[in-house]
């Protein structure tokens, strides 16, 4: 059973009136209590505002000033790994190099390791020309030998039952290839013979001869031959190596400028992150004061502490990015890998402005197509292909050579006078080697020859195929050159658009940053008056940091786009050297040339 206790006087006579009177008095009392509570809240807010103003009186309030000029105090140390702390400490304690942009470019030109490596390529190409010209160096030959031979008698004319013959040979000669495709040969031959043959007329016997021979192609190898082709290609490769060296220099110096601007961005970004951290710390301190005076819940302090920790991480990452940027600049401008290089702190001192630059697109395209390194290199490679076509076409012709020679011979020594053929020696006439030489050059016994040498393969498929391959290679190179010219035009246009786009980004991000500063100032004032929240103020601080970083990134990208716009008119991005085959009918050679990969240019995000 459930018992219900009733309020007295409700159903009793006069109870209803008493209840209504009591309810009326209660409503009046409640209204008075609400008014008292509101008055207490207003007094408490007034007291807390006075306390907060008193606590912040000694320092200027960040809520009453624009955020832009605020100093950037160093954040309190955050937990870091030992390696990061060591690198940061070493960088801070090392020597400082105040570096201008001009000085960075000059140091890179003198010390950059990529340029130092590429400097050997023109020298190697020059030596290749010297090597190819070596085919026209005179070629000396000589033969010195001694021979002893004993022959048994084979018939009545053997010269005796046992014939002993001792022969000494001393020959000398020279061969010279000439630029017309032929060769010239000189031979001076000498021998001395001792024999006991009964038929010998001289003993010892000296024999000498001097011969001059010429072989001159009249069809194949007449206009161009292997040696002349080698020299022409080597000279073209020397020109290509000069172009490649210039390309390396242009790309390296452009890269140094971009690294310099990136280092400036990293420094500015670190300052922005530190300023954002300082705002978070100041906001946390003011929230802690409000908690102590009782106008803010402790939970709001936790949110401010979390935001401060996040911004400390951003500072750590910005510091690491700055060190990375310094290392990239050091690698580009220092020649040696030593501890002093890496311990040096790089401080860029130039602050280029982001002023608009007029872009003349048609002139830039014409300049790039006329003198850009990869285009020039491709055209010179096409000239090499033309040389190969000319050579392989010549190799299709038959061999038709002119052959001519002239010489003289002489014999000397002790002449034997015999009593009849094969008879005993009855007298001698003294003589020697000089008699033989005198006979040679006195033209006593001249010899000469004139003729032609002709040969031709019936099908000649080897030469035909070699020439066809050379023509295919030339056509392919011509198509590649056309593709490269289109690619270069597209790159210049994209680079010009990047300049125009980035200068617009600079203006828009600058306006966004100014508006975010005003928004943060408004939110901080509203928060001080109790009309905003921790979340909105924190979000405004974060948005301001993002806007400042975006402006810095836009300025850095604009500077880089100007550098790229100049570079894209002068040089492409170098590729690995490749081998351009020099097609021959006999497959005797291939010449190394250098080609460049087409540049893939993108607009900085």
Same domain, 340 and 488: yes
Mean predicted confidence (pLDDT) in 192-203: 83
The Cα–Cα gap between 604 and 450 comes to 75
* Helix (H/G/I), strand (E/B), else coil: 388: helix
What value does the mean pLDDT take over residues 582-588? 33
pLDDT at residue 59, rounded to an integer: 35
Angle at the Cα of 404 from the Cα atoms of 399 and 407, rounded to 5 degrees: 150
Residues 522-539: pLDDT tens digits? 988 988 888 888 788 888
Residue 158: per-residue pLDDT: 67
> Is the same domain home to 572 and 480?
yes
pLDDT at 76: 39
Looking at residue 428, its pLDDT comes to 80
With 0.85 as the threshold, say if the pTM is over it.
no
CA torsion, ordered 212, 218, 224, 227, to nearest 10 deg: -20
Residues 364 and 384 both lie in one domain:
yes
384 within a domain of the structure (yes/no):
yes
- Residues 152, 280, single domain; the answer is no
| Residues 162 and 254 placed together within one structural domain of the fold | no
Q: Which of 88-102, 114-128, 219-233, 300-314 has the lowest mean pLDDT?
A: 88-102
pLDDT in tens, 333-344: 998 888 888 888
DSSP state of 347: E
Is residue 516 predicted with pLDDT exceeding 50? yes
* pLDDT exceeds cutoff 60 at 586: no
The whole-number pLDDT of residue 66 equals: 36
Tell me whether residue 58 is in a domain.
no
Q: Is the model more confident about 75 or about 345?
A: 345
Q: Is the pLDDT of residue 41 over 50?
A: no
**How many residues are listed for the chain in this entry?**
605
Per residue in 114-131, pLDDT tens?
999 999 999 999 999 999
Report the pLDDT value the prediction gives residue 88, as an integer from 0 to 100.
Answer: 52
For residues 197 and 259, membership in a common domain is answered with: no
Q: What is the DSSP-derived secondary structure letter of residue 444?
A: S
286-312 per-residue burial string, b: 16 or more CB within 10 A, e: under 16? bbebbeeeebbeeebbeebeebbeebb
pLDDT digits (tens, 9 = 90+) for 11-34: 333 443 343 344 344 443 444 443
**Ramachandran quadrant class, 269 (left: phi over 0; alpha: psi -120 to 50; beta: rest):** alpha
Longest Cα–Cα distance in the chain: 195
Q: Two tokens at 462?
A: 């080897």
- Total domains in the chain come to 2
pLDDT-wise least confident of 109-118, 156-165, 253-262, 450-459: 156-165
Of the three residues 413, 436, 455, the one that is the final residue of a domain is: 455
Question: Is 1 or 187 the better-scoring residue by pLDDT?
Answer: 187
In a domain, 381, yes or no: yes
- Split at pLDDT 50, 70, 90, the class of 574 is low
Question: b/e string for 332-349 if b means 16 or more Cβ within 10 A?
Answer: bbbeeeeeeebebbbebe
- The reported pLDDT for the residue numbered 427 is 75
Please state which of the ranges 76-80, 351-355, 418-422, 600-604 shows the lowest mean pLDDT.
600-604
Q: Is residue 80 part of a domain?
A: no
Average pLDDT, the chain: 80
- The residue that leads in pLDDT, 157 or 506, is 506
- The whole-number average pLDDT for the span 171-198 is 92
For 210-236, what is each residue's pLDDT tens digit? 999 999 999 999 999 999 999 999 999
**Rounded to an integer, what distance in angstroms lies between the CA atom of residue 249 and that of residue 241?**
12
In this prediction, residue 370 has a pLDDT band, given cuts at 50, 70 and 90, of very high
Q: Which of 554, 525, 523 lies closest to 537 in space, CA to CA?
A: 523
CATH number of the domain bearing residue 583: 1.20.1600.10
Give the pLDDT of residue 355: 86
- Both 236 and 322 in one domain: the answer is yes
Tell me, yes or no, whether 291 and 363 share the same domain.
Answer: yes
Note whether 378 and 427 are same-domain residues: no
Statement to judge: residues 404 and 489 lie in one domain: no
pLDDT of residue 156: 63
Task: Dig out the tokens for 358 from the structure.
Answer: 């007029």
Higher pLDDT, 232 or 67: 232
In a domain, 126, yes or no: no
**581 touches 473 (CB < 8 A):** yes
**Per the domain annotation, does 364 fall within a domain?**
yes
Express each pLDDT in 429-482 by its tens digit. Answer: 888 888 889 888 888 899 999 999 999 998 899 999 999 999 999 999 999 999
Sequence-ordered alpha helix ranges (H) in 372-460: 373-394, 433-441
Final residue of a domain: which of 455, 476, 493?
Answer: 455
- 173 pLDDT higher than 90: yes
Separation of alpha carbons 594 and 377, rounded Å: 8
Tokens for 234, please give them: 């080597």
Could you tell me the two tokens for 342? 């890496």
Q: Give the residue-averaged pLDDT of 550-561.
A: 90
> pLDDT value at position 304?
84
Answer whether residue 509 is part of any domain: yes
| Domain end call among 432, 455, 478 | 455
Query: Could you tell me the two tokens for 304?
Result: 């401010």
Indicate whether 413 pLDDT > 60: yes
Same domain, 380 and 307: yes
Q: Residue 317 pLDDT > 70, yes or no?
A: yes
Among the residue ranges 257-271, 280-294, 418-432, the one predicted with the least confidence is: 418-432
Q: Tell me the C-alpha distance between 176 and 65, whole Å.
A: 91
pLDDT band of 601, cuts 50, 70, 90: very low
Q: Are residues 496 and 353 in the same domain?
A: yes
Q: What is the pLDDT of residue 353?
A: 78
Give the pLDDT score at 29.
43
> What is the domain range of residue 145?
138-177+183-220+399-455
Q: Is residue 71 part of a domain?
A: no
């Amino acid at each position: 059973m459930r018992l219900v206790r009733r309020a007295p006087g409700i159903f009793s006579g006069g109870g209803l009136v008493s209840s209504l009177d009591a309810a009326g008095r209660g409503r009046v009392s409640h209204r008075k209590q609400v008014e008292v509570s509101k008055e207490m809240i207003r007094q408490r807010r007034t007291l807390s505002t006075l306390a907060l103003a008193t606590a912040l009186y000694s320092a200027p309030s960040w809520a009453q000033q624009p955020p832009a000029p605020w100093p950037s105090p160093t954040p309190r140390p955050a937990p870091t790994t030992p390696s990061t702390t060591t690198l940061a400490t070493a960088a801070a304690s090392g020597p400082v190099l105040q570096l201008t942009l001009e000085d960075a470019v000059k140091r890179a030109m003198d010390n950059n390791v990529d340029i130092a490596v590429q400097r050997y390529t023109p020298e190697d190409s020059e030596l290749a020309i010297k090597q190819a010209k070596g085919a026209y160096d005179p070629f000396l030959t000589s033969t010195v030998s001694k021979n002893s031979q004993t022959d048994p008698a084979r018939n009545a004319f053997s010269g005796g039952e046992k014939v002993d013959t001792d022969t000494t040979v001393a020959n000398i000669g020279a061969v010279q290839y000439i630029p017309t495709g032929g060769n010239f040969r000189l031979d001076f031959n000498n021998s001395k013979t001792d024999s006991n043959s009964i038929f010998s007329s001289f003993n010892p016997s000296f024999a000498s001869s001097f011969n001059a021979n010429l072989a001159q192609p009249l069809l194949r190898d007449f206009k161009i031959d292997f040696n002349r082709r080698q020299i022409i290609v080597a000279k073209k490769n020397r020109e290509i190596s000069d172009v490649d060296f210039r390309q390396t220099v242009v790309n390296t110096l452009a890269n140094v400028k971009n690294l310099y601007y990136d280092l400036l961005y990293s420094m500015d970004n670190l300052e922005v992150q530190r300023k954002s951290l300082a705002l978070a710390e100041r906001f946390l301190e003011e929230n802690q004061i409000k908690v102590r005076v009782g106008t803010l819940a402790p939970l709001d302090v936790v949110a401010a502490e979390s935001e401060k920790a996040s911004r400390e991480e951003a500072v750590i990452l910005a510091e690491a990015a700055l060190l990375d940027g310094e290392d990239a600049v050091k690698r580009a401008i220092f020649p040696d890998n030593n501890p002093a290089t890496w311990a040096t702190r790089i401080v860029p001192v130039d602050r280029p402005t982001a002023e608009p630059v007029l872009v003349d697109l048609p002139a830039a395209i014409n300049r790039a197509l006329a003198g850009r390194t990869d285009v020039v290199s491709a055209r010179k490679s096409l000239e090499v292909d033309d040389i190969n076509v000319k050579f392989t076409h010549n190799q299709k012709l038959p061999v038709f050579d002119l052959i001519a020679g002239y010489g003289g011979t002489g014999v000397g020594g002790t002449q034997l006078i015999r009593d009849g053929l094969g008879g005993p020696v009855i007298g001698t006439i003294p003589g020697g080697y000089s008699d033989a030489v005198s006979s040679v050059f006195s033209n006593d016994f001249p010899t000469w020859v004139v003729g032609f040498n002709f040969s031709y393969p019936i099908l000649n498929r080897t030469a035909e195929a070699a020439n066809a391959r050379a023509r295919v290679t030339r056509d392919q190179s011509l198509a590649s050159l056309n593709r490269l010219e289109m690619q270069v035009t597209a790159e210049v246009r994209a680079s010009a658009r990047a300049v125009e786009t980035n200068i617009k980004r600079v203006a828009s991000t600058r306006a966004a940053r100014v508006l975010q500063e005003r928004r943060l100032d408004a939110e901080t004032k509203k928060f001080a008056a109790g009309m905003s929240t921790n979340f909105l103020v924190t979000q405004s601080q974060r948005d301001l940091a993002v806007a400042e970083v975006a402006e810095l990134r836009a300025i850095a990208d604009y500077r880089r786009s100007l550098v790229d716009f100049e570079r894209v008119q002068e040089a492409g991005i170098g590729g690995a050297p490749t081998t351009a085959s020099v097609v021959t009918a006999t497959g005797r050679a291939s010449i190394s040339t250098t080609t460049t990969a087409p540049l893939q240019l993108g607009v900085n995000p």
